[in-house]
Structure 1
Amino acid sequence: MTALVTPTLHLLTYRPEPMVTWWAALLGVEQPDPPRARVTTLSALTLTVLIERSDIALDYHREACGVTWIAVGLHDATASLTVTHRLAVIGSHPHRATLHPGYTRLWYLDPNGADVALDIAIDMAGATPAAATGDDPLFPDEVDPADVLAQLRERASR
């Protein structure tokens, strides 16, 4: 019998404390106080994040590391609202939102500057993309993140 393996994300950073705080908030797990080890492990049911301290690591640059973004799937409006609230408490807010068939993606930056997308299982049908208003013809699927958060609050209160 083979055990299920939780996906693991291994991140290298020269500022482990804010990275541990941010990822612990996203995952909704306790963080060590303060993280002292070279590698800190944060484990949730669906994802394990290893944050490794490095004295030579630099800020995230997609050209250098080859990773353009990280997506984390959230199952419902209540779970999504909980995660966005935990991130807001530590001062992290979405910088963009994009529409996709059947879901909406909220984009955050982690403390290293990596794009982290929260895939939220809500369809923003009826939302007005930026291109339709003439605000942003280059990114036609963009919507205001505040509109997505308002929709989350509305759906979670049902």
Structure 2
Amino acid sequence: METELRRAAFFDLGSCCRSVAGAVVSAIETHRRAGDLLILVLPDDRVPPHPYQLGLRMDLMVYARSARTPEDINQPSSLDSAKLQIVVETMARLGLDASRCFAYGHRSSGLGTLAVVGNPRVIAPDPELTRYARSRGWPLIDAPRVSPETPSSC
């Protein structure tokens, strides 16, 4: 008898904005009901998760430890590379098949996470990531845009 491989959903949310919170919660609930492993991808263990993320009850948190200095954390190429590596290592360590894994991101710094799974999902509104996702046929999850005068935690 063949057993079905477990699915996982990686959430690369950076500093999660109020503007994407509803879409994130919905995705988490969907994956939780399906019995999927929920994994939060964070940029570095020196940067604490956003308080909203701590309330998401993830099964696992993984850290992309690429940053040599606090300023390096915001360098996209270094961070993308580290996230890609930690997601691949996590899938290998847990025996997950990339084709059965999902990833959610809302900033272009999440590209490394999105690029290595079989089911990337982009939560708009990052225009650069949205263009990239469209060019590759990745699904976009609409999230309301935050107006310029509205303070945001992004």
Instruction: Give the TM-score taking structure 2 as reference length.
Output: 0.28
Q: Looking at secondary structure, tell me which structure has more helix per residue.
A: 2
Relative contact order, higher structure (CA 8 A, sep 6+)? 2
More strand by share: 1
Highest Rg: 1 or 2?
1
